[in-house]
Amino acid sequence: MANVRYLPFTPSGSVSAPPSKSDVHRAIICAALSRGKCTISPVVLSNDIKATIGCIEALGAVTSIKDGVLTVDGTELFENRTALLDCGESGSTLRFFIPVAALGGVKAKFVGKGRLPQRPIGIFTDILPQKGVNCETEGGLPLRISGKLQSGRFEVPGNVSSQFITGLLFALPLLKNDSDIVLTSPVESAGYINMTIRTMSKFGVEVQKTDFGWHINGGQRYIPHNYTTDGDWSQAAFFMVSGAINGEITVENVNQSSAQGDKQIVNLLEQFGAKVIQTDVSVTVKSQPLHSITIDASQIPDLVPVLAVCANFAEGVTRIINAQRLRIKESDRLKTTAELINSLGGNVNELEDGLEITGVPKLSGGNTNGFNDHRIVMSAATCAAGLDGEILCTDAMSINKSYPEFFNDYNSIGGKADVLDIR
């Protein structure tokens, strides 16, 4: 175990956003499904990406990585008729691979750790048995599947996780006949579905949007493609918010034309009152007096913890609404975000579906829990841009789930993060 100590700092200079974890997950799966040899770059081996690589290898693909270039050879994909897929703590990996393994008729066992075994998979255990896939579970992980996925009509709620829809989108084009995904409730995190469709299109597979979901033509094939990944807007947000609180920061490698919904951080920081200058591939944020706003988080759940930090330094009361899905993330992020900020001297009221944050000029610091949640630990780092005193946060290395280089990048813009081994 390790704690991390954060000291007050004024952000300055520039930092490059890491490769988008969400983009890399998708590219790895599309590359393997192409049944050829593809490169994906740049790639950083976060724990979640390691889980996806491990699962695609368990299904028969071969991978290697050198200097940030990942090679995926899917020639032998699905040659393994039985497989153990260890998804670690990655919800994306789990929900993406259930339909993919079923596509190949693989007898698969899915396992995970942390909170992943308790995270919802009921959508698949409800609909897949109707389409040729037997599912055995006691309500979570481990999950065992057998049988081969069949095409048809898939009725899916849109308000639990877009990851279920993405998993189906990967698999359905490779079936012989056409399929339809029909939404039974409005879709949330639509940007992630758009990202999936965009990545699939680069590998030669097309999806048609309909009034009620998506139509997928069967009989398609993925074409091998050397893929360049996007910078990660959700990770860039930690640095941008730091600049909005105190100082000036430029974040590079953030593509304005990205399909990532989290690029909304730019508009939200402008609404808060920060000065924002955007180019095609960079964003500069400079602190100015901030004021409260209302944020609908239905399409941007991953931004909620760091947006709450920004709201803490904004005059007035900020409300974050439509964020109830955060209760089933790596932690109950409504609860843990409130506890983080309140433990440091802030004033956050937890709502059933969101947060109410009353702004304060400074945080006093103190001891806080990272809850083994990478976004909570990185949000604690962002708090230090408006800090008197110091922060001691647990579970420092949970950042490895998504952003192993976070502390180095943070310190490069003036941050003062000191990881303390407490073994």
**Global confidence as pTM:** 0.94
Residue 84 has pLDDT above 80, yes or no: yes
Tally of CA atoms within 13 A in the half-sphere of 382 that contains its CB:
32
- Please tell me the CATH code under which domain 2-18+231-421 is placed: 3.65.10.10
Rounded CA-CA distance 117/94 in Å is: 10
Q: What is the DSSP letter of 334?
A: H
Give the per-residue pLDDT at 279.
Answer: 96
Mean of all residue pLDDT scores within the chain: 96
193-228 per-position pLDDT tens digit: 999 999 999 999 999 999 999 999 999 999 999 999
In sequence order, what are the beta bridge partners of 278? 283
Residue 368 has pLDDT above 90, yes or no: yes
pLDDT, one tens digit per residue, over 108-148 is 999 999 989 988 898 999 999 999 999 999 888 999 999 99
Full DSSP string of 140-189: SSSEEEEE----SEEEE-SSS-HHHHHHHHHHGGGSSS-EEEEESS--SS
Task: Identify whether 120 is preceded by a cis peptide bond (ω within 30 of 0).
Answer: no
- CA-to-CA separations, 208 to 120, 169, 203, 252, in angstroms, rounded: 27, 11, 15, 33
Q: Residue 105: which pLDDT band, with cuts at 50, 70 and 90?
A: very high
One-letter amino acid for residue 319 of the chain = R
**pLDDT score, position 188:** 84
Percent of the chain with pLDDT over 70: 100
Rounded to whole angstroms, the Cα distance separating 227 from 298 reads 29
Predicted confidence at residue 328, as pLDDT, reads: 81
Q: Which CATH class is domain 21-226?
A: alpha beta
pLDDT number for residue 423: 58
For the chain, give every residue range classified as CATH 3.65.10.10.
Answer: 2-18+231-421, 21-226
Give the amino acid at 29: I
Q: Which residues are catalytic?
A: 302
Is the model's pLDDT at 316 over the cut of 90? yes
Q: To which residue do tokens 């932690």 refer?
A: 331
Residue 173 has pLDDT above 80, yes or no: yes
**Secondary structure (3-state) at 82:** strand
What is the structure's pLDDT at 47? 97
In terms of DSSP bridges, do strands 179-183 and 153-156 run parallel, antiparallel, or are they unpaired?
A: parallel
Q: What is the DSSP letter of 273?
A: T
Dump pLDDT digits (tens) for 27-45.
999 999 999 999 999 999 9
Sign of CA dihedral 8, 10, 15, 21: positive
Can you tell me the mean pLDDT for 163-191? Answer: 95
- The per-residue pLDDT for 378 is 98
With 0-12 / 13-18 / 19 or more C-beta atoms within 10 angstroms meaning exposed / middle / buried, residue 327 is: middle
